[in-house]
Chains A and B, each alone.
Chain A
Amino acid sequence: MLSMPAIAIDVLDFQSPQEAERFRALAAEIRCLVCQNQSLADSSAPLAQDLRAEVLEQMRAGRTDQEIRDYLVARYSDFILYRPTMSVTNLLLWFAPLLMVISGLWLLIRKLRQATPSENSTVSGHDMPDSED
């Protein structure tokens, strides 16, 4: 099983070591959609073979790595990339913990402020509760 990646990729005929290296790097980023947890570089599934051929063809047509990624994402969604691009849903996912901490703090401060009689809070914006309950 460990030799699978080499077998999967060596079917393609590379024109130069540089091309092979670039291809390997790019294919490792692309998820094989029909095989769980395998990159495009590792899979021998027919769809993976087709996608590899497509990637190589586009490389040879002078497309940049980013253009090739964009092409695939436009058709298969960013699920096809192991490192997802920034999308609205992903942004939400990545920053949700931070947002939750901030909103939690905000709620806490509000609650504590309400607990403290407003006349006492002379130093505005720097309130501390008298005691915890």
Chain B
Amino acid sequence: MLLVIGLKHSEFKEIIPSPLIGQKAPAFELPTLNDHRMVNSSSLRGKPYLLNIWASWCPGCRVEHELIMSIADQDIIPVYGLSYKDAEHDANRWLERFGNPYTEVLVDEAGKVGIDYGVYGAPETFVIDSKGVIRHKHVGPLDVKTWKKELLPLIMTLDQPQS
């Protein structure tokens, strides 16, 4: 058992555990794509949501896109996109071409909010509950199996928006 723990810590790990799980999602104020309205992270509270870190330069984002689209289509949970270190027109072109699943796209061109969220690549997907607490982080392209086995069951336990 100890050997296993030891190996896990000594090897370079592709998945770095996020210390932010169970913590309040770091606050931000970011402009939206295109209309550049400033959105404060506190205004996202009150309902659970996904925060999907993506970029047009990111091949993994293309891989998970179909799933992200279907999650948004089925109205399971709102998906906010964080356009991470991307140029606005590239982001737009990508969304026009592959579809826009996002309730809102927030632009983090410098990647500063990314650092605050411990992002070290794209895509990454955070599950944030209605109180603004990070409940789960998925690193890399989200796949149907992980979605069904990990994220969806968690989302089902989160309190639903008060109507």
Q: Using CB atoms, name the residue of chain B closest to A77.
A: B19
Q: Which residues of B contact A (CB under 8 A)?
A: 2, 5-6, 9, 12-13, 16-20, 26, 85, 110-112, 114-118, 120-121
Closest to B16 in A: A79
Contact A92 to B5, CB < 8 A, known contacts A37-B12, A46-B85, A47-B120: yes
User: Are B6 and A76 in touch, CB under 8 angstroms?
Assistant: no
CB-CB contacts below 8 Å: A65-94 with B: 73-77, 79-80, 89-90, 92-93
In the complex, residue of chain A having the shortest beta-carbon distance to the beta carbon of B117: A75
- How far is it, in angstroms, between the C-alpha of A18 and the C-alpha of B85 when the chains are bound? 31
By a CB distance below 8 angstroms, the chain B residues around A112 are none
> A75-B118, A76-B118, A76-B120 in contact; A50/B110 too (CB < 8 A)?
yes
Chain A residues near B111 (CB-CB < 8 A): 46-47, 50
B20: chain A residues at CB < 8 Å are 74-75
A-B contact pairs, 13 of them (CB 8 A): A33-B16, A46-B111, A47-B111, A50-B115, A54-B112, A54-B115, A75-B18, A75-B19, A75-B117, A76-B16, A76-B19, A77-B118, A93-B9
In the complex, what distance in Å separates the CA atom of A99 from the CA atom of B117? 37
Chain B residue at minimal CB-CB distance from A49: B111
Most-contacted residue by chain B among A46, A73, A79, A80 (CB, 10 A): A79
Query: Interface residue tally of chain A, by bracket?
Result: 20 to 34
Q: How far is the CB of A21 from chain B (nearest CB, A)?
A: 24
| Contact assessment for B13 and A75 in the assembled complex, using a CB-CB cutoff below 8 Å | no
Which B residues touch A75, using CB under 8 A?
18-20, 26, 115-118
Q: Do B9 and A89 have beta carbons less than 8 Å apart?
A: yes
In the complex, per-residue mask of A20-43: 1 if CB is within 8 Å of any chain B CB, else 0: 000000000000011011000000
Chain A residue at minimum C-beta to C-beta distance from B10: A93
Q: Nearest 6 A-B pairs (CB), nearest first? A: A75-B118, A33-B120, A50-B111, A77-B19, A76-B118, A96-B2
Contact of A47 among B5, B6, B12, B121 (CB under 8 A): B121
Assuming the contacts A54-B115, A77-B19, asked whether A34 and B9 have C-beta atoms less than 8 A apart, the reply is no
* Assembly CA distance A30 to B56 (angstroms): 28
Which A-chain residue is minimally distant from B9 (CB atoms)?
Answer: A93
Contact among B12, B110, B115 for A51, CB-based, below 8 A: B115
